[in-house]
Amino acid sequence: MTRQNNSTSWRKANNIASRPWTGSVREYDLVKELTIGVVVVGLLVLGVSAIFGSPDEPSVSLKGWAIAAPADFVATAAKELGSTSDTAGYGPPYNATPDAAQKIGPIDLQSLSGVRIRVDTANDFVIAPLETLPSPPAAVADWTAATDQQRSDWTAAYSDALDAAPDNAPDNAPASVAAGDYGPVPALTGALLDMARNGNLDGVLEGGGNFYNMDYTRSLLFLGDGTYFPDLAASQHLTGDQWGVMNETGDTPGQSWLWLFSLLYQVEPFKSSPNADALVVVTMLVLTALLAALPFIPGLRSLPRQVPVHRLIWRDYYRNR
């Protein structure tokens, strides 16, 4: 019992936290310090952001596209009607286009999940939006009543005529196409152009017209099928051959941890392979698995002892060991 009391007394005597403070005391305003800290740090953040922050580019919309490049908009709408756009032939998860999926040998990775976001470019991008207008154009009924072969002939002829239109034509080509048998295609694409210019097409394609929406799949696919959107990406150094996977807009560097993804797209065999996306994904999965298993792989786990770079970095610690 006496030994226990002595131990308790010794701990109390040597416990600094339990000793009473005998030094000077002054008032401390925690709210004032917090306010000053928030203001100073906030000003520093704003200043550094203004000097080093990346540019805040406005979002790209279908309305902006229709106003800035009407010829490209109309030509893309004609391709959507004729199912000849990139989206129409993309394959899963948008459609079941034969031989469109990327593969690793005989394994069709792209088709494993199936067609989950079905996109019919003619109906989803052109006909269905026009049917939401208070007075849909009569051309919609003409298109619906036509056969698949008629539709294909009309859109092919109109696309060829748009390509042959002079570059300096009024309205940048659509209004100056040579006469021909295009069926209702010019009326459909013209009505869609007017709808986009008025800002109505953005709301219809984004989530089916719902006011609150976070699904931009269809509007982005439509934009990507034209040349306007890719040209904007190229001007901002965001294409694949410009390491756009890891860049923000302009010359501003972005997420540095994405450099390895971008690197693979710049070298062979990935660079020229039609299955580049699938190859890069599988390669990154293998590298990630190796990194996770590194502590369990004989030979590799011994590399730090064989190549003691860490001793050079922490040489002060290892100097006397």
Residue 296 and residue 179 in one domain:
no
Side-chain half-sphere CA neighbours of 84 within 13 A: 16
Residue 177 and residue 70 in one domain:
yes
User: What's the pLDDT band for 248 if we cut at 50, 70, 90?
Assistant: confident
What's the rounded mean pLDDT across residues 240-265? 80
Flag whether 191 is in a domain: yes
201-231 residue pLDDT tens: 988 887 665 667 778 889 999 999 999 999 9
Return the minimum-mean-pLDDT range out of 84-88, 168-172, 266-270, 282-286.
168-172
Q: Which residue has the higher pLDDT, 242 or 187?
A: 187
Flag whether 222 is in a domain: yes
Flag whether 23 is in a domain: no
CB-CB contact of 243 with 253 (8 Å): no
First-residue to last-residue Cα distance in the chain: 45
Flag whether 1 is in a domain: no
CB-CB contact of 228 with 68 (8 Å): yes
Indicate the burial class of 103 (C-beta count within 10 angstroms; 0-12, 13-18, 19 or more).
Answer: middle
Domain boundary among 217, 235, 253: 235
Q: What is the DSSP letter of 69?
A: -
Flag whether 250 is in a domain: no
Return the minimum-mean-pLDDT range out of 15-19, 98-102, 245-249, 310-314.
15-19
Whether the pLDDT of residue 232 is over 70: the answer is yes
Residue 195 and residue 316 in one domain:
no
The residue to which tokens 């295609």 are assigned:
185
Residue 191 and residue 295 in one domain:
no
Q: Quick one: tokens of 187?
A: 């009326």
**Boundaries of domain holding 97:** 62-235
Residue 297 and residue 198 in one domain:
no
What is the C-alpha to C-alpha distance for residues 92 and 264, in angstroms, rounded to an integer?
23
Could you give the angle at the alpha carbon of 153 between the alpha carbons of 201 and 138, nearest 5°?
45
Q: Which residue type does 75 have?
A: A
DSSP H or E stretch at residue 268 = none
Whole-number pLDDT of residue 241:
81
Total of domains in the chain: 2
Side-chain half-sphere CA neighbours of 136 within 13 A: 15
Flag whether 241 is in a domain: no
Whole-number pLDDT of residue 191:
93
Whole-number pLDDT of residue 318:
80
What's the rounded mean pLDDT across residues 35-62? 87
Residue 73 and residue 204 in one domain:
yes
Flag whether 25 is in a domain: no
Whether the pLDDT of residue 151 is over 70: the answer is yes
| Three-state SS at 207 | helix
Residue 217 and residue 291 in one domain:
no
Could you give the angle at the alpha carbon of 296 between the alpha carbons of 292 and 302, nearest 5°?
105
Taking alpha carbons only, the member of 163, 157, 204 closest to residue 185 is 157
Whether the pLDDT of residue 5 is over 80: the answer is no
Q: Which residue type does 272 have?
A: S
Flag whether 129 is in a domain: yes
Whether the pLDDT of residue 181 is over 60: the answer is yes
Whether the pLDDT of residue 172 is over 70: the answer is no
Residue 194 and residue 279 in one domain:
no
Domain boundary among 235, 257, 283: 235
Q: Quick one: tokens of 245?
A: 């996977």
Residue 201 and residue 284 in one domain:
no
Name the average pLDDT for the chain. 84
Whole-number pLDDT of residue 7:
56
Residue 183 and residue 293 in one domain:
no
Residue 200 and residue 321 in one domain:
no
What's the rounded mean pLDDT across residues 7-15? 57
User: What backbone torsions phi and psi does residue 107 show, to the nearest 5 degrees?
Assistant: -90, 120
User: What backbone torsions phi and psi does residue 247 show, to the nearest 5 degrees?
Assistant: -105, 150
Indicate the burial class of 122 (C-beta count within 10 angstroms; 0-12, 13-18, 19 or more).
Answer: buried
What's the rounded mean pLDDT across residues 7-29? 68
Q: Which residue has the higher pLDDT, 260 or 209?
A: 260
Residue 186 and residue 314 in one domain:
no
263-284 residue pLDDT tens: 999 899 898 888 888 899 999 9
Domain boundary among 235, 254, 275: 235
Predicted TM-score of the model (pTM): 0.74
Whole-number pLDDT of residue 198:
92
Side-chain half-sphere CA neighbours of 250 within 13 A: 7
